[in-house]
Structure 1
């Protein structure tokens, strides 16, 4: 049950943080993004990647990971990078952002597939979704969308990851199919987490706080 509740809780926490910060990217949100990127990448390397390589042929896995990276690149053509903290909604925007909504839902749905009781990927998704939900909510609040539109956007977004987990764990999909999807999700996670980690700091200066957040993310993932 925890695997279904935690992703929902992440979005709720993100919404609460958005109402507290009321800004696009506060200092704390940037650090949380850095921590989440490192944590998600480390968990993917420590748990998800070995699991997939244990069951599938190596070259096939490599191809699927590359497909996942390419899929995320395509999704970001429509989301403009919202999956790793870049949300571009103008304050005067009144039309519902269908492309952003659909691409985020696809991403959230797929990231639910690797979550099961035998790994800790749910915590990686949890930490990843909190800052993303925060930034999405902030931009929605700054737009001219109705409260109903904002509520439906966040509600559907909130349940897409548990839906992916539900289908992965309870459907009649063959194990090889689920593992193949997981391999694609590895590519998605690689793209998102490395984009967060490799983004230049303000003024291209070494950011000690960001570096510490990254080290902590890796350390926590390793110790789990």
Structure 2
């Protein structure tokens, strides 16, 4: 069932663009909410879970380094995806050239997102689901504005939607991934920290306080606090 939820979140975002044409403001607010939710789950669940089973100070140091490496890895991926993971696609439109770097980067990112789901509670699953909807909206809008056909657009979205379930499946069944679960989760924590903080703390328009965005962020944090178990 969780696999279908992850796939459905991406496809739902694409359907929204075709039939509802969501307002940019609502998409930004949903993105802010998802970033706050993802950051809260990372800080309140993933970080304690990684460190709670270790008492070795050297081990703590190693996990910290892996978190920093995760941040760097995501920075590299974003140089290819142009920031699509946190709601920005800055590519030149060209209907004759499929953006393979964007596709590969986002697919790799989505795959790694799925790896820790099996060992986390449902909050991480829903944080990723909520995060994928605005990303799918933004990607679909970009592809259609770039004059890609609907068939090509939804083929991209469908393949993209399979990446997190694939990571989820391997994290659940692969012995090597399970053996190094804490190290892999530390890397993913770095990825999540990078994405969520950029979503939340990038400069607002004219550097003004945005009450709507702040409310969406606060809602994401409070929801995580009151539902985490």
Q: TM-score, normalised by structure 1?
A: 0.93
The CA distance in 2 between the partners of 1:151 and 1:212, in whole Å, is 32
The CA distance in 2 between the partners of 1:155 and 1:174, in whole Å, is 25
CA drift at 1:117: 5.8
CA drift at 1:21: 5.1
Q: TM-score, normalised by structure 2?
A: 0.91
**Within 5 A, what are the aligned runs for 1:84-103?**
84-103=86-105
Q: How many residues of Structure 1 are paired with residues of Structure 2 in the alignment?
A: 222
Runs of 4+ more than 4 Å apart: none
Q: Does the CA contact (< 8 Å) of 1:89 and 1:143 recur in 2?
A: no
Which residue number corresponds to residue 126 of structure 1? 129
Q: Does the CA contact (< 8 Å) of 1:29 and 1:131 recur in 2?
A: yes
- Residue number among 51, 56, 60 corresponding to 2:49 in the alignment: 51
Q: Does the CA contact (< 8 Å) of 1:34 and 1:196 recur in 2?
A: yes
Which residue number corresponds to residue 221 of structure 2? 218
CA drift at 1:68: 0.5
The CA distance in 2 between the partners of 1:174 and 1:97, in whole Å, is 30
**Is residue 38 from structure 1 mapped to residue 36 from structure 2 by the alignment?**
yes
**Is residue 144 from structure 1 mapped to residue 147 from structure 2 by the alignment?**
yes
- Residue number among 11, 26, 29 corresponding to 1:28 in the alignment: 26
Q: Does the CA contact (< 8 Å) of 1:87 and 1:139 recur in 2?
A: yes
Which residue number corresponds to residue 70 of structure 1? 72
CA drift at 1:113: 0.7
CA drift at 1:170: 1.1
**Within 5 A, what are the aligned runs for 1:187-206?**
187-206=190-209
Note closer, same or farther for the CA distance 1:159–1:98 as it changes in structure 2 (3 Å cut). same
Instruction: Name the Cα RMSD after superposition.
Output: 1.6
The CA distance in 2 between the partners of 1:221 and 1:71, in whole Å, is 26
